[in-house]
């Protein structure tokens, strides 16, 4: 049983594995002390990776369980395990003997020449890790760095927990229960009090997913949508938490000799300067501005028509107006074919998307995907409702898939936890429980293990087909792209495996995999009518792709705005408090979306959890999309993207190296300037 799987078995196991990891680290560290760097460089690096692997399996699983596990006692034990491992990490970060062994390997020409390229990159990465944690500084400064890192970690956890705990009940005065989707009506009815005496219904709805999205999409009252937007996208407790998080990051930057936290975070990235990253985002947003204005006019026209008066469109109107305009566009493309719009939503389901991924991986990447049994006693973190190899239902809480090359070599496993539940973070994420690496015998590999989490709406218990829609399909395929990166990595060291790459490279595989969904020649493989089994007709494919691109400039502008906010919050000239962070967010909105109203009481940035996980690198999403577009042109046949060859080359050249090569080596033929212009041009063509 792997360390990660042992951690998930019980809370007591989690604590035991944490303690065993600490003992393993101390024993391996002592062993390193008896090795001679000039002679034993390769063995020292292997010891480092053994330590890194053991620690990562425990702490990554513990951090996952802290937020995802359904059992509160397990969550508490996972938090204790996380604290135990973090203390161990702090001891490692201050171990000058370990750092000195790396420095001696690097300084000795004979020893250095004996190492191959991956071993050299491992050495330099490990040295950088030590230096980022203050190993070169005086004991006093080093201790400050460690304290600040702990403070940053604590404030990040606090920010995320505040978001989870921020749900409130929103009273809707101009919306009836029957205005909301059928799937949530019974739940809403239980918590609501309707007063029908004056004809106005008052409905009470929680502000967390999927209820918030349902209100924002379906509530006919703009005032009700505004109330939900304010409640769902404001976490007042996070104003001071964000201030302390930013202060800690800036202090860390100063202690380590960097101009700002953004400079510290980006020094090893493809774009190594914050100004260049913001310039990239601004360039994309500026180039697509003409299309953005046309899209905003569409929203404004519908809003005025709905309210029968001249009124500006607001941020809370997007969810309501966009689907209606997209549907009208789709019908216009179809020429008003009777019934086509209704039927289109019956083609996308969890099962059809997973079936499409199975076909795509087999045909393009030479990978076989197969569902496996989940042991509810030793593997599940969300109860006994688990999938099995022979299951015909998509309506289960937890599923597991194995992946092999078509010649039989096993690549790893992926768990799917796809449905929203109380206490589970909203949104979509992937988590690496164990990274791939060659074991010491150099003949077998440790298999990567990944979990994908989404917050799709759970259907009634008797449903076996779970409809999801095209954007939920996009989300799931995107997260599979991250998982594929881990599965296909072929590095010697887990420390360099899979998604452990610079942040402006990590989104590229996920964004590229999503392109198969949106291509007219490959979308059909992800669709299957829930009754007839037929794929989506080509007429609907073309209509879906064209209509869903209706607001591509607005969506990319939002992403650019969020990236610019993230960068500016981490600049050296920013001094933050609750007022200044809000003002900065409003100033950026005014610059890039000046005609959209915003609610006076909303503080959108206080629920933007990517400020914790990305921290000055959210710009990488658009950078990744730009590079993914360029890679697509280089590797795949645009007339037939499912043709053999391109996927295998992409797997071998882009995914397999992990972080054993720099992104610049992997993407040596693609310039950022060309990628930026190409991205903007593709948006303008949509």
148-207 residue pLDDT tens: 988 998 899 899 889 888 888 899 988 888 899 887 888 888 877 644 444 445 788 998
Residue 143 belongs to some domain of the structure: no
Residue 451 belongs to some domain of the structure: yes
CATH number for the domain spanning 98: value is 1.20.1050.40
Q: Is the pLDDT of residue 446 over 90?
A: yes
Mean pLDDT over all residues of the chain? 89
Is the same domain home to 391 and 461?
yes
Instruction: Note if the bond before 210 is cis, omega within 30 degrees.
Output: yes
- C-alpha distance from residue 369 to each of 393, 416, 450 (Å): 17, 13, 14
Question: Would residue 491 be called left, alpha or beta, if left means φ above 0 and alpha means ψ between -120 and 50 degrees?
Answer: beta
The sign one gets for the Cα dihedral 167, 173, 179, 184 is positive
Percent of the chain residues topping a pLDDT of 70: 94
Q: Is the pLDDT of residue 341 over 70?
A: no
The pLDDT value given to residue 195: 42
Q: What is the pLDDT of residues 520-564, one digit of tens each?
A: 999 999 999 888 888 998 888 988 898 888 999 999 999 999 999
Residue 416 belongs to some domain of the structure: yes
What average pLDDT does range 225-253 have in this prediction? 93
Is the same domain home to 97 and 200?
no
Is the same domain home to 45 and 125?
yes
Answer with the residue of higher pLDDT: 350 or 378.
350
- pLDDT band for 677, please (50, 70, 90 cuts): low
Is the same domain home to 475 and 384?
yes
The pLDDT value given to residue 664: 83
Answer with the residue of higher pLDDT: 480 or 308.
480
What average pLDDT does range 659-678 have in this prediction? 75
- C-alpha distance from residue 213 to each of 184, 206, 316, 445, 527 (Å): 11, 11, 11, 43, 24
User: Tokens representing 650?
Assistant: 């992409």
List the domain range (segments joined by +) for residue 544. 350-548
672-685 and 289-307 helices, crossing angle to 10°:
30
Is the same domain home to 454 and 355?
yes
- pLDDT band for 678, please (50, 70, 90 cuts): low
Q: What is the pLDDT of residues 563-575, one digit of tens each?
A: 999 999 998 766 6
What average pLDDT does range 335-348 have in this prediction? 63
Residue 178 belongs to some domain of the structure: yes
What average pLDDT does range 45-62 have in this prediction? 96
548, 578, 603 — which closes off a domain? Answer: 548
Is the same domain home to 118 and 212?
no
509, 530, 548 — which closes off a domain? Answer: 548
Is the same domain home to 198 and 117?
no
Q: What is the pLDDT of residues 354-407, one digit of tens each?
A: 999 999 999 999 999 999 999 888 888 987 777 777 677 788 889 999 999 999
Is the same domain home to 109 and 185?
no
Residue 299 belongs to some domain of the structure: no
Residue 567 belongs to some domain of the structure: no
The pLDDT value given to residue 194: 47
The whole-angstrom separation of Cα 645 and Cα 623 is: 25
The pLDDT value given to residue 257: 87
Is the same domain home to 519 and 376?
yes
The pLDDT value given to residue 294: 95
User: Tokens representing 139?
Assistant: 């004991």
Residue 380 belongs to some domain of the structure: yes
532, 548, 564 — which closes off a domain? Answer: 548
Q: Is the pLDDT of residue 229 over 50?
A: yes
What does the buried/exposed string (b/e) look like for 607-618 if buried means 16 or more CB atoms within 10 Å of the residue's CB? bbbebbebbbbb
Q: Kindly report the pTM of this predicted structure.
A: 0.88
The pLDDT value given to residue 288: 93
E-strand stretches of 388-478: 399-405, 410-419, 429-434, 437-438, 445-446, 449-456
Is the same domain home to 130 and 184?
no
CATH number for the domain spanning 371: value is 1.10.1370.40
Domain count, the chain: 3
The whole-angstrom separation of Cα 290 and Cα 403 is: 45
Is the same domain home to 101 and 184?
no
Is the same domain home to 359 and 220?
no
The pLDDT value given to residue 344: 66
Residue 467 belongs to some domain of the structure: yes
The pLDDT value given to residue 629: 87
The pLDDT value given to residue 501: 92
What average pLDDT does range 269-287 have in this prediction? 90
């Amino acid at each position: 049983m792997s360390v990660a799987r042992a951690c998930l078995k019980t809370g007591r196991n989690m604590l035991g594995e944490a303690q065993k990891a600490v003992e393993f680290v101390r024993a391996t560290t002592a062993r390193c002390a008896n090795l001679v760097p000039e002679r034993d460089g390769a063995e020292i690096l292997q010891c480092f990776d053994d330590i890194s692997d053991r620690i990562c399996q425990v702490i990554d699983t513990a951090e996952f369980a802290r937020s995802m596990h359904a059992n509160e006692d397990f969550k508490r034990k996972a938090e204790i395990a996380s604290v135990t491992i973090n203390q161990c990490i702090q001891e490692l970060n201050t171990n000058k003997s370990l750092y000195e062994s790396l420095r001696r390997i690097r300084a000795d020409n004979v020893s250095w020449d004996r190492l191959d390229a991956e071993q050299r990159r491992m050495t330099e990465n490990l040295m950088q890790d030590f230096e980022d944690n203050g190993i070169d500084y005086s004991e006093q400064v080093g201790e400050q760095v460690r304290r600040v890192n702990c403070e940053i970690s604590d404030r990040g956890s606090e920010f995320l927990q505040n978001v989870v705990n921020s749900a409130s009940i929103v009273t809707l005065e101009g919306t009836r229960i029957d205005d909301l989707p059928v799937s949530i009506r019974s739940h809403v009815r239980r918590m609501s009090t309707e007063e029908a005496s004056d004809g106005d219904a008052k409905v009470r709805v929680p502000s967390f997913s999927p209820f918030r999205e349902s209100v924002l999409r379906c509530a006919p009252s703009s005032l009700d949508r505004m109330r939900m937007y304010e409640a769902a996208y404001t976490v007042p407790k996070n104003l001071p938490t964000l201030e302390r998080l930013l202060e800690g990051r800036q202090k860390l930057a100063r202690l380590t000799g960097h101009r700002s936290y953004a400079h510290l975070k980006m020094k090893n990235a493809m774009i190594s300067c914050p100004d260049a990253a913001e310039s990239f985002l601004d360039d994309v947003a500026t180039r697509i501005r003409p299309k953005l204005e046309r899209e905003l006019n569409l929203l404004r026209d519908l809003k005025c028509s709905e309210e029968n008066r001249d009124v500006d469109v607001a941020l809370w109107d997007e969810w309501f107006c966009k689907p209606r305009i997209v549907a009208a566009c789709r019908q216009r493309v179809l020429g008003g074919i009777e019934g086509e719009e209704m039927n289109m939503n019956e083609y996308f389901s969890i099962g059809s998307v997973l079936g499409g991924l199975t076909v795509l991986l087999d045909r393009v990447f030479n990978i076989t995907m197969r569902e496996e049994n989940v042991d509810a006693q030793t593997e599940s973190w969300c109860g006994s409702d688990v999938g099995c190899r022979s299951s015909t239902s998509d309506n289960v809480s937890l599923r597991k898939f194995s992946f092999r090359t078509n010649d039989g070599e096993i690549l790893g496993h992926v768990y799917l936890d796809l449905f929203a539940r109380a206490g589970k973070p909203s949104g979509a994420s992937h988590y690496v429980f164990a990274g791939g690496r060659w074991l010491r015998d150099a003949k077998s590999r440790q298999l990567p293990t990944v979990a994908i989490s989404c917050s799709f709406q759970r259907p009634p218990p008797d449903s076996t087909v779970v409809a999801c829609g095209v954007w939920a399909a996009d989300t799931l395929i995107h997260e599979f792209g991250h998982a594929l990166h881990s599965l296909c990595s072929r590095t010697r060291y887990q420390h360099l495996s899979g998604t452990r790459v610079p942040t402006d490279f990590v989104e590229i595989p996920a964004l590229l995999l999503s392109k198969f969904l949106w291509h007219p020649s490959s979308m059909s493989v992800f669709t299957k009518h829930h009754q007839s089994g037929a794929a989506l007709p080509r007429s609907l494919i073309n209509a879906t792709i064209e209509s869903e691109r209706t607001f591509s400039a607005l969506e990319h502008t939002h992403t650019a705005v969020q990236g610019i906010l993230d960068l500016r919050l981490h600049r050296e000239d920013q001094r933050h408090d609750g007022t200044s962070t809000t003002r900065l967010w409003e100033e950026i909105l005014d610059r890039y979306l000046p005609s959209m109203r915003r609610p006076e009481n909303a503080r959108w940035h206080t629920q933007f959890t990517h400020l914790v996980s990305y921290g000055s690198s959210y710009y990488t999403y658009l950078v990744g999309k730009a590079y993914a577009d360029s890679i697509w042109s280089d590797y795949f046949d645009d007339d037939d993207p499912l043709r053999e060859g391109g996927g295998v080359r992409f797997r071998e050249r882009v995914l397999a190296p992990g972080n054993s090569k720099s992104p610049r080596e992997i993407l040596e033929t693609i310039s950022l300037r060309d990628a930026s212009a190409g991205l903007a041009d593709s948006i303008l063509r949509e």
